[in-house]
Structure 1
Amino acid sequence: MKTLLLLLLFSTVSLSLGQPSPDPVRDIDGNLLRSSSKYYILPVFRGRGGGVTLAPTRNESCPLDVVQENFELENGLPLTFTPVDPKKGVIRESTDLNIIFSASSICIQSNVWMIEEYDGQLIVSAHGMSGSPGQETLSNWFKIEKYEDDYKLVFCPTVCDFCKPVCGDIGVTISENGIRRLAISDVPFKVMFKKA
């Protein structure tokens, strides 16, 4: 019995050690995305707006939400990616991370991306909390996933073992006044990353 137990334990450890790391995410120059660097998130398809930035999208000036620039020549604001394990320097596909704008704003907010419900949609806002993976910060964790030959942003956190979040691709929804707000959508926002 002891031999069988040891064999099962050894098999389990061997399987967990043998799993390869997810592929690293690369910028438009083919370089690895690193947590210590700043990047712009840009659309793959030009002519459909520019990079991502912060803007008021509600009936008040604060909080600021994550939107896409209307003009394709605008890169938006630089941001950083912080993986769930902050000691990891390389950003990898399909792993939980915080996305944080590296800019100050008129609003007193963290600039950490988060999902919240507003006006019947699950939108991307920027007043979340960085780090502390778990149930309390569930709405603050995103992933970068391979999408065709490029990437897409996804909300489907795995930082809480017993939580069941609503998962979905991050897309662009255009409001009546032309604001290109990022939100959970059936149509993914196909993106690439440019070092700032």
Structure 2
Amino acid sequence: MASATLIALFLLSALTFYAPSTTAQPVKDWNGNIDKNGGIFGTFYILPSLLGAPGGVRLLATGNEPFPVSVVQSPFKDDKGLPVTISRILQSTYSPAGQAVALSFDYTPGGTSLLWTAVEGFPEGTLVKIDGYYPDPLKGFFYIRDSKFGLKDSINLSFCRSLIGVIPACSNVTVVKSDGNLLLAFTQEDAYDFRLEEYQPPSADA
């Protein structure tokens, strides 16, 4: 029994874990703004933090997908991608680094928000997809936190699986290249550094 327990602890220690922090600094957008509205964290463009890097995130049909359900990074640095709404799973006065969040594209042709999820089993590994198309998405939550590298107002994303009875196993969101596409995927290596640029909806008078 003791040996089985030691093996389980060894396997758990080989994974990367991130728990929500109650003492971390609040996540900010690229302008240094902190969310304080108690409900929706906000709607943003999710962009690379490094200047000269590719563009923002958007939807694309990859592989044999009949319509766009893959979350990808645009290869064009001037393309901000699609607005993403970031909502807190747990209510608080601001979103501390390590906060569990839901992410969904704010605008679609049908006007429906599209929730991000994680789907495993691809040649590239586990990928970020849109919920509702693939039958067995992983159960868990996305997390947002300040950049591990300390880049000013940059953020990292991770996904933590819900495993009953053990500490949630988490993987970092990164970008991998496959067939010319930049796919959002999960890794145990360093997370990709993103920045948040607040989305300003077009004026009704425009």
- TM-score between both structures, scaled by the size of structure 1: 0.73
| 8 Å contact from structure 2 (residues 119, 137) kept in 1 | no
- Residues 6-33 of structure 1 show CA distances to partners (whole Å, capped at 9, x for unaligned) of xxxxxxxxxxxxx955421101111014
Letter in 1 for 2:141: W
The equivalent residue for 2:184 is 182
- The separation in 1 between residues aligned to 2:99 and 2:122, in whole angstroms, is 29
Q: Any gaps of 5 or more consecutive residues in structure 1? A: 1-18, 129-135
| 8 Å contact from structure 1 (residues 52, 68) kept in 2 | yes
- Residue 117 of structure 1 pairs with residue 138 of structure 2: no
TM-superposed CA distance for 1:65, in Å, is: 1.2
- Residues 51-107 of structure 1 show CA distances to partners (whole Å, capped at 9, x for unaligned) of 11111112122351110011011111111111112x43532210211111101147x
- Pick closer, same or farther for the CA change 1:45–1:166 going to 2, 3 Å: same
The equivalent residue for 1:77 is 82
- Residue 171 of structure 1 pairs with residue 174 of structure 2: yes
| 8 Å contact from structure 1 (residues 109, 126) kept in 2 | no
- The separation in 2 between residues aligned to 1:20 and 1:171, in whole angstroms, is 25
- The separation in 2 between residues aligned to 1:83 and 1:180, in whole angstroms, is 27
- TM-score between both structures, scaled by the size of structure 2: 0.70
Superposed CA RMSD: 2.8
Identity %: 27
* Greater fraction of residues in strand: 2
- Pick closer, same or farther for the CA change 1:143–1:105 going to 2, 3 Å: same
- Count matched residues: 167
- Pick closer, same or farther for the CA change 1:179–1:91 going to 2, 3 Å: same
- Pick closer, same or farther for the CA change 1:58–1:110 going to 2, 3 Å: farther
* Greater fraction of residues in helix: 1
- Residues 108-164 of structure 1 show CA distances to partners (whole Å, capped at 9, x for unaligned) of 985111111142310000116xxxxxxx9863511112222222111125x666256
- Residue 191 of structure 1 pairs with residue 201 of structure 2: no
